[in-house]
Amino acid sequence: MDLAVQTRGLSKSYAGVHAVDGIDLEVPRHSVFGFLGPNGAGKTTTMKMLLGLIRPTSGSGSVFGLDITTDSPRVRGRVGYLPQEPRFYPRMTARETLRFAAGFFYSGPADAIEARIEEMLELVGLSGKADRPVKTLSGGETQRLGIAQAQIHQPDLLILDEPAAALDPLGRRDVLAILEQFRATSTVFYSTHILDDVQRVSDIVCILKDGRIVSQGPLEQVLAGGSESVFVAVVE
């Protein structure tokens, strides 16, 4: 199988806490991978290890065959990341925000950069609000801007930490619809604690609890229970 992400026994411990405890992930290229688990399951810690922002205590991992500990700058060159609580300059407009991000990641003629920004604004449904300061955007619009920013340099893998969790049902639906569109051009690895989200938009699902994988595989297989039954109760 052609994998975007693979880990073997990946673990991270903090004094007395096994945040991530020996996980083996397999994320096929061009899949939407739903990483499902309750608060504190270890989702953010796993994502940060894949990005090289946290060093594993033990185990290994690769992104497009690049080692996550020894090759992390090259990994980051191929990955777009939306943290759980993205921060923006409130007075910058949406367009300026994307131009600022593009300055770090995207080299090329100015008109190509502007065209890319326009394309991203269109994709996330912000074309009509492109020249408004970020502080005037709604939560859902801000989150969609974050997705556009993570995607500005055309990464092969998008890692999105709870991109829809803080939104109302309509906002979540919009964000999930955007994720689905990225399947054709890249691989999407996103976390959520909401079962309904992975049911709506995922090809492969991994359920994490207390740092361990409870179940992993194609959506229908995991939700059907496979060899073991899985129950996830979410209280919102």
Q: How many angstroms separate the CA atoms of 180 and 23, rounded? A: 26
User: Which residues, including other chains, have CB under 8 Å from residue 21's CB and lie 6 or more apart?
Assistant: 11, 42, 210, 211, 212
Is 39 a residue that touches ligand ATP (CB under 6 A)?
Answer: yes
CB-wise, 51 or 94, nearer to ligand ATP? Answer: 51
Of these, 4, 33, 42, 172, which contacts ligand ATP (CB under 6 A)? 42
Is 83 a residue that touches ligand ATP (CB under 6 A)?
Answer: no
Q: How far apart are CB 34 and ligand ATP at their closest, in Å? A: 13
Is 41 a residue that touches ligand ATP (CB under 6 A)?
Answer: yes
Is 40 a residue that touches ligand ATP (CB under 6 A)?
Answer: yes
Is 37 a residue that touches ligand ATP (CB under 6 A)?
Answer: yes
CB-wise, 84 or 127, nearer to ligand ATP? Answer: 84
Q: In what order do the strands lie in the sheet with 204-209?
A: 79-82, 157-160, 187-192, 32-36, 204-209, 212-218
Given the rule CB under 6 A, which residues bind ligand ATP?
14, 17, 19, 37, 39-45, 84, 193
